[in-house]
Chain A
Amino acid sequence: MRWCHWVNFPILTIMIWSGMLIYWANDEYSVTIFGHTFFRFFPDWFYNTLKIPHRLSEGMAFHFLFMWFFTLNGILYVLYTAISGEWRELVPKRNSFKEAWLVLLHDLHIRKTAPPQNKYNAAQRIAYTAIILMGVGSVVTGLAIYKPVQFYYLAWLCGGYHFARILHFALTLGYVFFFVIHVVQVILAGWKNFSSVISGFEVVNESPKPVTQIAKHEHAEEK
Protein backbone atom coordinates (compact mmCIF):
# COMPACT_ATOMS: atom_id res chain seq x y z
CA MET A 1 0.00 0.00 0.00
CA ARG A 2 2.07 2.80 -1.31
CA TRP A 3 -0.07 5.61 0.12
CA CYS A 4 0.73 4.53 3.64
CA HIS A 5 4.36 4.22 2.70
CA TRP A 6 4.61 7.82 1.54
CA VAL A 7 2.52 9.15 4.39
CA ASN A 8 4.70 7.29 6.85
CA PHE A 9 7.94 8.71 5.50
CA PRO A 10 7.48 12.33 6.64
CA ILE A 11 5.68 11.30 9.83
CA LEU A 12 8.45 8.95 10.88
CA THR A 13 11.00 11.62 10.04
CA ILE A 14 9.20 14.05 12.35
CA MET A 15 8.91 11.39 15.07
CA ILE A 16 12.63 10.65 14.92
CA TRP A 17 13.55 14.32 14.92
CA SER A 18 11.25 15.23 17.80
CA GLY A 19 12.41 12.09 19.58
CA MET A 20 15.95 13.40 19.39
CA LEU A 21 14.84 16.75 20.82
CA ILE A 22 13.51 14.74 23.79
CA TYR A 23 16.47 12.41 24.04
CA TRP A 24 18.97 15.27 24.20
CA ALA A 25 17.67 16.32 27.63
CA ASN A 26 19.19 13.21 29.17
CA ASP A 27 21.47 11.66 26.60
CA GLU A 28 22.80 8.77 28.58
CA TYR A 29 22.77 5.93 26.07
CA SER A 30 26.01 4.59 24.70
CA VAL A 31 27.55 1.42 23.43
CA THR A 32 29.66 0.25 26.34
CA ILE A 33 31.20 -3.18 26.55
CA PHE A 34 33.26 -4.14 29.59
CA GLY A 35 33.55 -0.57 30.72
CA HIS A 36 34.85 0.73 27.42
CA THR A 37 32.56 3.21 25.70
CA PHE A 38 32.72 2.76 21.95
CA PHE A 39 30.10 5.27 20.98
CA ARG A 40 28.04 7.81 22.83
CA PHE A 41 24.61 8.86 21.52
CA PHE A 42 25.21 11.47 20.31
CA PRO A 43 28.37 13.50 19.74
CA ASP A 44 28.09 17.25 20.20
CA TRP A 45 28.72 18.08 16.55
CA PHE A 46 25.70 15.95 15.69
CA TYR A 47 23.41 17.86 18.07
CA ASN A 48 24.70 21.23 16.97
CA THR A 49 24.40 20.49 13.27
CA LEU A 50 20.77 19.50 13.69
CA LYS A 51 19.99 22.27 16.21
CA ILE A 52 18.85 19.73 18.79
CA PRO A 53 19.84 21.22 22.18
CA HIS A 54 17.39 22.85 24.62
CA ARG A 55 14.18 21.96 22.82
CA LEU A 56 12.70 19.30 25.11
CA SER A 57 9.23 20.82 25.50
CA GLU A 58 9.02 21.49 21.78
CA GLY A 59 10.07 17.93 21.03
CA MET A 60 7.44 16.50 23.36
CA ALA A 61 4.70 18.65 21.87
CA PHE A 62 5.53 17.49 18.33
CA HIS A 63 6.07 13.89 19.38
CA PHE A 64 2.72 13.66 21.16
CA LEU A 65 0.86 15.11 18.20
CA PHE A 66 2.44 13.08 15.44
CA MET A 67 2.25 9.85 17.45
CA TRP A 68 -1.44 9.86 16.56
CA PHE A 69 -0.80 10.05 12.83
CA PHE A 70 1.99 7.49 13.00
CA THR A 71 -0.26 5.02 14.81
CA LEU A 72 -3.34 5.65 12.67
CA ASN A 73 -1.35 5.26 9.47
CA GLY A 74 0.10 2.02 10.79
CA ILE A 75 -3.32 0.66 11.73
CA LEU A 76 -4.65 1.62 8.30
CA TYR A 77 -1.80 -0.18 6.59
CA VAL A 78 -2.18 -3.35 8.63
CA LEU A 79 -5.95 -3.38 8.12
CA TYR A 80 -5.65 -2.86 4.39
CA THR A 81 -2.95 -5.46 4.00
CA ALA A 82 -4.91 -7.97 6.04
CA ILE A 83 -8.27 -7.42 4.34
CA SER A 84 -7.01 -7.13 0.76
CA GLY A 85 -5.05 -10.34 1.10
CA GLU A 86 -1.84 -8.57 0.19
CA TRP A 87 -0.29 -9.97 3.31
CA ARG A 88 0.25 -13.15 1.32
CA GLU A 89 2.84 -11.31 -0.74
CA LEU A 90 4.43 -9.80 2.33
CA VAL A 91 4.61 -12.25 5.20
CA PRO A 92 7.63 -14.57 5.11
CA LYS A 93 6.94 -18.09 3.98
CA ARG A 94 8.40 -21.20 5.50
CA ASN A 95 11.32 -21.23 3.08
CA SER A 96 11.84 -17.45 3.15
CA PHE A 97 14.49 -17.55 5.82
CA LYS A 98 16.58 -20.02 3.84
CA GLU A 99 15.96 -18.17 0.60
CA ALA A 100 16.83 -14.81 2.10
CA TRP A 101 20.44 -15.96 2.33
CA LEU A 102 20.46 -16.74 -1.35
CA VAL A 103 19.00 -13.32 -2.09
CA LEU A 104 21.63 -11.69 0.10
CA LEU A 105 24.44 -13.62 -1.60
CA HIS A 106 22.99 -12.64 -4.96
CA ASP A 107 22.74 -8.98 -4.03
CA LEU A 108 26.31 -9.01 -2.82
CA HIS A 109 27.31 -10.48 -6.18
CA ILE A 110 28.57 -13.67 -4.62
CA ARG A 111 25.92 -15.82 -6.28
CA LYS A 112 24.83 -15.44 -9.85
CA THR A 113 21.19 -16.41 -9.59
CA ALA A 114 18.47 -15.29 -7.27
CA PRO A 115 15.62 -17.55 -6.21
CA PRO A 116 12.34 -16.96 -8.08
CA GLN A 117 9.90 -14.59 -6.45
CA ASN A 118 6.62 -12.80 -6.82
CA LYS A 119 6.13 -9.22 -5.71
CA TYR A 120 8.75 -9.41 -2.96
CA ASN A 121 11.71 -11.67 -2.63
CA ALA A 122 12.44 -13.61 0.53
CA ALA A 123 14.71 -10.96 1.99
CA GLN A 124 12.13 -8.27 1.28
CA ARG A 125 9.40 -10.34 2.89
CA ILE A 126 11.45 -10.59 6.05
CA ALA A 127 12.56 -6.97 6.06
CA TYR A 128 9.16 -5.46 5.26
CA THR A 129 7.37 -7.62 7.78
CA ALA A 130 10.01 -6.84 10.39
CA ILE A 131 9.64 -3.11 9.85
CA ILE A 132 5.89 -3.38 10.51
CA LEU A 133 6.54 -5.34 13.68
CA MET A 134 9.07 -2.69 14.67
CA GLY A 135 6.39 -0.06 14.12
CA VAL A 136 4.10 -1.97 16.46
CA GLY A 137 7.01 -2.22 18.88
CA SER A 138 7.55 1.52 18.78
CA VAL A 139 3.89 2.21 19.55
CA VAL A 140 3.84 -0.32 22.39
CA THR A 141 7.11 0.77 23.99
CA GLY A 142 6.11 4.36 23.35
CA LEU A 143 2.84 3.94 25.23
CA ALA A 144 4.70 2.09 27.98
CA ILE A 145 6.96 5.07 28.62
CA TYR A 146 4.31 7.69 27.88
CA LYS A 147 1.80 6.39 30.46
CA PRO A 148 3.73 3.82 32.50
CA VAL A 149 1.21 3.89 35.33
CA GLN A 150 -2.01 3.80 33.34
CA PHE A 151 -0.57 1.18 30.97
CA TYR A 152 1.41 -0.59 33.68
CA TYR A 153 0.89 -3.92 31.90
CA LEU A 154 2.59 -2.56 28.77
CA ALA A 155 5.47 -1.28 30.87
CA TRP A 156 5.70 -4.72 32.45
CA LEU A 157 5.58 -6.34 29.03
CA CYS A 158 8.47 -4.17 27.87
CA GLY A 159 10.61 -5.03 30.85
CA GLY A 160 9.79 -1.96 32.92
CA TYR A 161 9.89 1.77 32.24
CA HIS A 162 13.64 2.07 32.08
CA PHE A 163 14.13 -0.83 29.69
CA ALA A 164 11.14 0.16 27.56
CA ARG A 165 12.84 3.47 26.93
CA ILE A 166 15.99 1.74 25.77
CA LEU A 167 13.93 -0.48 23.46
CA HIS A 168 12.13 2.56 22.09
CA PHE A 169 15.49 4.14 21.33
CA ALA A 170 16.95 0.96 19.82
CA LEU A 171 13.96 0.58 17.51
CA THR A 172 14.58 4.09 16.25
CA LEU A 173 18.17 3.20 15.46
CA GLY A 174 16.70 0.22 13.63
CA TYR A 175 14.63 2.54 11.42
CA VAL A 176 17.67 4.57 10.49
CA PHE A 177 19.58 1.38 9.65
CA PHE A 178 16.62 0.15 7.61
CA PHE A 179 16.37 3.47 5.83
CA VAL A 180 20.00 3.41 4.71
CA ILE A 181 19.78 -0.13 3.29
CA HIS A 182 16.37 0.61 1.82
CA VAL A 183 17.57 3.67 -0.08
CA VAL A 184 20.65 1.88 -1.39
CA GLN A 185 18.45 -0.97 -2.60
CA VAL A 186 16.00 1.43 -4.24
CA ILE A 187 18.83 3.15 -6.08
CA LEU A 188 20.20 -0.20 -7.22
CA ALA A 189 16.75 -1.37 -8.31
CA GLY A 190 16.57 1.56 -10.68
CA TRP A 191 14.17 4.21 -11.82
CA LYS A 192 11.41 1.94 -13.13
CA ASN A 193 11.08 0.27 -9.79
CA PHE A 194 11.01 3.57 -7.95
CA SER A 195 8.46 4.97 -10.35
CA SER A 196 6.19 2.00 -9.69
CA VAL A 197 6.05 2.86 -6.00
CA ILE A 198 4.66 6.25 -6.94
CA SER A 199 2.40 5.40 -9.85
CA GLY A 200 1.29 1.96 -8.75
CA PHE A 201 2.33 0.12 -11.89
CA GLU A 202 5.44 -0.92 -13.67
CA VAL A 203 6.03 -1.55 -17.33
CA VAL A 204 7.61 -4.90 -17.87
CA ASN A 205 8.63 -5.58 -21.43
CA GLU A 206 7.74 -9.15 -22.15
CA SER A 207 10.31 -10.56 -24.52
CA PRO A 208 9.35 -13.44 -26.73
CA LYS A 209 12.09 -15.57 -25.23
CA PRO A 210 11.84 -16.27 -21.53
CA VAL A 211 14.39 -14.04 -19.89
CA THR A 212 15.21 -13.89 -16.20
CA GLN A 213 13.41 -10.63 -15.80
CA ILE A 214 12.42 -10.98 -12.23
CA ALA A 215 13.37 -7.61 -10.90
CA LYS A 216 9.81 -6.41 -10.95
CA HIS A 217 8.40 -4.67 -8.01
CA GLU A 218 4.84 -4.42 -8.98
CA HIS A 219 2.46 -2.32 -7.04
CA ALA A 220 -0.27 -2.73 -9.57
CA GLU A 221 -3.94 -3.46 -9.02
CA GLU A 222 -4.38 -0.91 -6.33
CA LYS A 223 -6.88 1.34 -7.96
Chain B
Amino acid sequence: MSTPKKNKNPKKELTVEQRITRRNFISFGAFAVLAAGAYEGWRLLYKSPEEAAGITAGARKPLRRALNKTELFFRRVFSDNHLVKTYPKSMAAKRVRVNSDIGIETNKKFDPATWKLQVIKKPGDVLQVTLDDLKKLPKTEIVFDFKCVEGWDQIQHWGGVKFSDFISHYGLTDLTKMQYVGMETPDKGYYVGLDMPSAMHPQTILAYEVNDKPLPLEHGAPLRLIVTVKYGIKNLKRIGAISFSNNRPRDYWAEQGYDYYSGL
Protein backbone atom coordinates (compact mmCIF):
# COMPACT_ATOMS: atom_id res chain seq x y z
CA MET B 1 0.00 0.00 0.00
CA SER B 2 2.57 2.52 1.07
CA THR B 3 5.45 1.19 -0.96
CA PRO B 4 4.93 3.10 -4.24
CA LYS B 5 4.80 6.38 -2.44
CA LYS B 6 7.86 5.53 -0.45
CA ASN B 7 9.87 4.73 -3.53
CA LYS B 8 9.12 8.08 -5.07
CA ASN B 9 9.93 10.10 -2.00
CA PRO B 10 12.03 7.90 0.23
CA LYS B 11 12.75 10.64 2.69
CA LYS B 12 9.20 11.74 3.14
CA GLU B 13 7.86 11.23 6.64
CA LEU B 14 5.40 8.41 6.90
CA THR B 15 1.92 9.29 7.95
CA VAL B 16 0.53 7.95 11.19
CA GLU B 17 -1.64 5.53 9.26
CA GLN B 18 1.37 4.20 7.40
CA ARG B 19 3.37 3.79 10.56
CA ILE B 20 0.52 1.87 12.15
CA THR B 21 0.21 -0.39 9.13
CA ARG B 22 3.91 -0.95 9.04
CA ARG B 23 4.28 -1.75 12.70
CA ASN B 24 1.34 -4.09 12.56
CA PHE B 25 2.79 -5.79 9.51
CA ILE B 26 6.15 -6.31 11.23
CA SER B 27 4.55 -7.52 14.46
CA PHE B 28 2.18 -9.97 12.85
CA GLY B 29 4.87 -11.13 10.48
CA ALA B 30 7.25 -11.80 13.32
CA PHE B 31 4.50 -13.48 15.27
CA ALA B 32 3.64 -15.76 12.38
CA VAL B 33 7.28 -16.65 11.74
CA LEU B 34 7.92 -17.40 15.42
CA ALA B 35 4.72 -19.43 15.71
CA ALA B 36 5.66 -21.44 12.64
CA GLY B 37 9.16 -21.92 14.08
CA ALA B 38 7.75 -23.11 17.38
CA TYR B 39 5.43 -25.51 15.62
CA GLU B 40 8.24 -26.83 13.45
CA GLY B 41 10.43 -27.26 16.52
CA TRP B 42 7.70 -29.19 18.25
CA ARG B 43 7.19 -31.40 15.22
CA LEU B 44 10.91 -32.15 15.05
CA LEU B 45 10.92 -33.09 18.73
CA TYR B 46 7.74 -35.14 18.49
CA LYS B 47 9.01 -37.05 15.46
CA SER B 48 12.57 -37.29 16.72
CA PRO B 49 14.04 -40.78 16.45
CA GLU B 50 14.01 -43.23 19.30
CA GLU B 51 17.29 -43.70 21.15
CA ALA B 52 19.49 -46.64 20.25
CA ALA B 53 18.48 -49.52 22.51
CA GLY B 54 21.04 -50.09 25.25
CA ILE B 55 20.84 -49.74 29.01
CA THR B 56 18.04 -47.31 28.36
CA ALA B 57 15.62 -47.62 25.48
CA GLY B 58 12.22 -46.68 24.21
CA ALA B 59 12.38 -42.91 24.60
CA ARG B 60 12.91 -40.20 22.02
CA LYS B 61 16.60 -39.36 21.80
CA PRO B 62 16.37 -35.70 22.91
CA LEU B 63 13.95 -36.58 25.71
CA ARG B 64 16.29 -39.25 27.04
CA ARG B 65 19.08 -36.69 27.05
CA ALA B 66 16.86 -34.32 28.97
CA LEU B 67 15.98 -37.03 31.51
CA ASN B 68 19.66 -37.77 32.08
CA LYS B 69 20.57 -34.09 32.40
CA THR B 70 17.67 -33.53 34.77
CA GLU B 71 18.92 -36.47 36.83
CA LEU B 72 22.30 -34.77 37.21
CA PHE B 73 20.60 -31.62 38.39
CA PHE B 74 18.40 -33.27 40.98
CA ARG B 75 21.17 -35.52 42.24
CA ARG B 76 22.69 -32.35 43.69
CA VAL B 77 19.84 -32.00 46.14
CA PHE B 78 19.96 -35.66 47.16
CA SER B 79 20.99 -36.15 50.75
CA ASP B 80 20.96 -38.93 53.31
CA ASN B 81 19.47 -36.36 55.65
CA HIS B 82 16.38 -36.08 53.47
CA LEU B 83 14.18 -38.82 54.80
CA VAL B 84 10.87 -40.07 53.56
CA LYS B 85 8.02 -39.23 55.89
CA THR B 86 7.15 -42.11 58.23
CA TYR B 87 3.81 -42.94 59.81
CA PRO B 88 2.55 -44.85 62.83
CA LYS B 89 2.03 -48.56 62.23
CA SER B 90 -1.71 -48.16 62.70
CA MET B 91 -1.90 -46.17 59.48
CA ALA B 92 -0.34 -48.89 57.34
CA ALA B 93 -2.58 -50.58 54.79
CA LYS B 94 -3.79 -54.03 55.84
CA ARG B 95 -4.11 -55.15 52.24
CA VAL B 96 -0.91 -54.13 50.58
CA ARG B 97 -1.36 -53.48 46.90
CA VAL B 98 0.18 -55.96 44.46
CA ASN B 99 0.82 -54.26 41.16
CA SER B 100 3.10 -56.51 39.17
CA ASP B 101 4.48 -60.03 39.06
CA ILE B 102 7.15 -59.62 36.40
CA GLY B 103 9.97 -62.00 37.24
CA ILE B 104 7.97 -63.77 39.95
CA GLU B 105 5.06 -65.15 37.92
CA THR B 106 3.19 -67.92 39.74
CA ASN B 107 3.68 -70.42 36.91
CA LYS B 108 7.42 -70.28 37.48
CA LYS B 109 9.01 -72.87 39.70
CA PHE B 110 10.47 -71.30 42.79
CA ASP B 111 11.20 -72.74 46.20
CA PRO B 112 11.82 -70.10 48.87
CA ALA B 113 13.31 -72.79 51.15
CA THR B 114 16.30 -73.39 48.91
CA TRP B 115 16.76 -69.73 48.02
CA LYS B 116 20.04 -68.01 48.76
CA LEU B 117 20.96 -64.42 48.08
CA GLN B 118 23.89 -64.23 45.67
CA VAL B 119 26.15 -61.26 46.26
CA ILE B 120 28.45 -60.99 43.28
CA LYS B 121 31.57 -59.30 44.65
CA LYS B 122 33.36 -59.76 41.39
CA PRO B 123 33.00 -62.29 38.59
CA GLY B 124 33.59 -65.70 40.14
CA ASP B 125 33.56 -64.41 43.72
CA VAL B 126 30.04 -64.88 44.97
CA LEU B 127 28.91 -64.55 48.54
CA GLN B 128 25.86 -66.62 49.43
CA VAL B 129 23.55 -65.47 52.18
CA THR B 130 20.52 -67.28 53.57
CA LEU B 131 17.41 -65.70 54.97
CA ASP B 132 18.33 -66.91 58.46
CA ASP B 133 21.69 -65.14 58.16
CA LEU B 134 19.88 -61.93 57.31
CA LYS B 135 17.44 -62.31 60.17
CA LYS B 136 20.37 -62.32 62.59
CA LEU B 137 21.23 -58.76 61.60
CA PRO B 138 19.51 -55.82 63.27
CA LYS B 139 15.97 -55.44 61.99
CA THR B 140 14.78 -52.11 60.61
CA GLU B 141 11.13 -51.36 60.11
CA ILE B 142 9.58 -48.57 58.12
CA VAL B 143 6.04 -47.34 57.62
CA PHE B 144 6.01 -44.97 54.67
CA ASP B 145 4.00 -43.84 51.69
CA PHE B 146 4.94 -46.16 48.83
CA LYS B 147 4.71 -44.31 45.53
CA CYS B 148 4.06 -45.87 42.17
CA VAL B 149 5.11 -44.27 38.93
CA GLU B 150 1.51 -44.75 37.78
CA GLY B 151 0.41 -42.23 40.36
CA TRP B 152 -1.03 -44.21 43.25
CA ASP B 153 0.48 -44.24 46.71
CA GLN B 154 -0.18 -46.35 49.79
CA ILE B 155 1.11 -46.29 53.34
CA GLN B 156 2.85 -49.63 53.88
CA HIS B 157 4.78 -51.29 56.66
CA TRP B 158 7.92 -53.22 55.78
CA GLY B 159 10.61 -54.85 57.89
CA GLY B 160 14.05 -56.20 57.11
CA VAL B 161 17.72 -55.36 57.05
CA LYS B 162 18.94 -51.92 56.23
CA PHE B 163 21.00 -52.21 53.06
CA SER B 164 23.86 -50.21 54.60
CA ASP B 165 23.87 -52.52 57.65
CA PHE B 166 24.01 -55.48 55.31
CA ILE B 167 26.97 -53.94 53.47
CA SER B 168 29.01 -53.21 56.58
CA HIS B 169 28.21 -56.57 58.20
CA TYR B 170 29.49 -58.50 55.20
CA GLY B 171 32.49 -56.23 54.72
CA LEU B 172 31.35 -54.96 51.33
CA THR B 173 32.09 -51.31 52.01
CA ASP B 174 34.84 -51.20 49.39
CA LEU B 175 32.34 -52.21 46.74
CA THR B 176 30.13 -49.25 47.58
CA LYS B 177 32.81 -46.98 46.19
CA MET B 178 31.43 -47.99 42.85
CA GLN B 179 28.65 -45.97 41.26
CA TYR B 180 25.83 -48.46 41.01
CA VAL B 181 24.17 -51.49 42.52
CA GLY B 182 22.32 -53.95 40.30
CA MET B 183 19.66 -56.38 41.48
CA GLU B 184 17.90 -59.17 39.61
CA THR B 185 15.21 -61.75 40.24
CA PRO B 186 16.45 -65.37 40.30
CA ASP B 187 14.98 -65.93 36.82
CA LYS B 188 16.57 -62.66 35.60
CA GLY B 189 13.12 -61.62 34.37
CA TYR B 190 13.11 -58.35 36.32
CA TYR B 191 16.12 -56.26 37.13
CA VAL B 192 16.91 -52.81 38.47
CA GLY B 193 19.88 -50.51 38.71
CA LEU B 194 20.33 -48.13 41.63
CA ASP B 195 22.76 -45.29 42.04
CA MET B 196 24.92 -45.92 45.09
CA PRO B 197 23.68 -42.96 47.18
CA SER B 198 20.09 -44.17 46.86
CA ALA B 199 21.08 -47.75 47.72
CA MET B 200 23.02 -46.60 50.78
CA HIS B 201 20.27 -44.22 51.89
CA PRO B 202 19.43 -44.95 55.57
CA GLN B 203 15.87 -45.95 54.63
CA THR B 204 16.77 -48.49 51.96
CA ILE B 205 15.86 -51.95 53.20
CA LEU B 206 16.20 -55.56 52.15
CA ALA B 207 12.75 -56.52 53.38
CA TYR B 208 11.58 -59.96 54.50
CA GLU B 209 8.46 -58.86 56.36
CA VAL B 210 5.31 -56.93 55.57
CA ASN B 211 2.91 -55.97 58.36
CA ASP B 212 5.05 -57.98 60.80
CA LYS B 213 4.59 -61.21 58.81
CA PRO B 214 6.95 -63.00 56.44
CA LEU B 215 6.59 -61.80 52.87
CA PRO B 216 4.02 -63.67 50.82
CA LEU B 217 5.18 -64.81 47.37
CA GLU B 218 3.30 -62.08 45.53
CA HIS B 219 5.17 -59.45 47.53
CA GLY B 220 8.51 -60.95 46.64
CA ALA B 221 9.26 -63.69 49.18
CA PRO B 222 11.69 -64.38 50.60
CA LEU B 223 13.49 -61.05 50.18
CA ARG B 224 12.63 -57.86 48.32
CA LEU B 225 13.99 -54.38 47.98
CA ILE B 226 12.31 -51.39 49.61
CA VAL B 227 13.95 -48.20 48.41
CA THR B 228 11.94 -45.24 49.67
CA VAL B 229 13.74 -42.69 47.52
CA LYS B 230 12.54 -44.36 44.32
CA TYR B 231 9.27 -45.15 42.62
CA GLY B 232 7.83 -48.64 43.00
CA ILE B 233 9.39 -49.77 39.71
CA LYS B 234 12.80 -49.87 41.43
CA ASN B 235 11.52 -51.86 44.43
CA LEU B 236 12.49 -55.26 43.07
CA LYS B 237 10.68 -58.31 44.40
CA ARG B 238 12.41 -61.64 45.10
CA ILE B 239 16.04 -60.56 44.96
CA GLY B 240 18.19 -63.28 43.42
CA ALA B 241 21.49 -61.52 42.90
CA ILE B 242 23.13 -58.27 43.90
CA SER B 243 26.08 -56.86 41.95
CA PHE B 244 28.16 -53.70 41.90
CA SER B 245 29.36 -51.68 38.95
CA ASN B 246 30.61 -48.33 37.80
CA ASN B 247 28.28 -48.44 34.84
CA ARG B 248 24.53 -48.42 34.93
CA PRO B 249 23.33 -51.99 35.45
CA ARG B 250 20.46 -53.03 33.24
CA ASP B 251 17.07 -51.83 34.38
CA TYR B 252 13.75 -53.27 33.27
CA TRP B 253 11.73 -50.08 33.04
CA ALA B 254 14.57 -47.87 31.79
CA GLU B 255 14.47 -50.16 28.76
CA GLN B 256 10.81 -49.24 28.31
CA GLY B 257 11.23 -45.50 28.04
CA TYR B 258 11.22 -44.62 31.74
CA ASP B 259 13.76 -42.43 33.49
CA TYR B 260 16.72 -44.48 34.72
CA TYR B 261 17.03 -42.50 37.93
CA SER B 262 13.33 -42.39 38.87
CA GLY B 263 14.30 -40.79 42.17
CA LEU B 264 11.95 -39.17 44.64
Chain A residues within 8 Å of B, Cβ to Cβ:
6, 10, 14, 22-23, 25-26, 28, 56-58, 60-62, 64-65, 68, 147-152, 155-156, 160-162, 165, 195, 198-201, 203
Contacts and interface: CB of A to CB of B under 8 A. Distances in A.
A162 B153 contact: yes
Given A6-B31, A57-B59, 4 more contacts: A150-B229, A195-B28, A199-B28, A203-B20
A128 to B, nearest CB: 21
A157 to B, nearest CB: 13
B86 to A, nearest CB: 11
A105 B237 CA distance: 61
B63 A61 contact: yes
Contacts of A151: 77
Nearest to B65: A65
Contacts of A68: 70
B74 A150 contact: yes
A64 B77 contact: no
B2 to A, nearest CB: 16
Contact of A61 (B59, B150, B228): B59
A26 B152 contact: yes
Contacts of A198: 27-28, 31
Interface string B123-156: 0000000000000000000000101111111000
Nearest to B71: A64
Given A65-B66, A147-B77, A152 B85 contact: yes
B83 A64 contact: no
B74 A162 contact: no
B253 to A, nearest CB: 8
Contacts, number: 100
B152 A152 contact: no
A149 B228 contact: yes
A9 to B, nearest CB: 10
Given A10-B42, A64-B66, A198-B28, A147 B263 contact: yes
Interface in B202-228: 228
A10 B34 CA distance: 12
20 contacts: A6-B31, A14-B42, A25-B149, A57-B253, A58-B60, A60-B149, A61-B60, A65-B62, A148-B145, A148-B147, A148-B264, A150-B74, A150-B77, A150-B78, A152-B84, A155-B85, A162-B153, A198-B28, A198-B31, A201-B23
Contacts of A57: 58-59, 253, 256-258
B78 A160 contact: no
A69 B170 CA distance: 47
A160 B152 contact: no
B79 interface: yes
A156 to B, nearest CB: 8
A165 B147 CA distance: 12
B24 A199 contact: yes
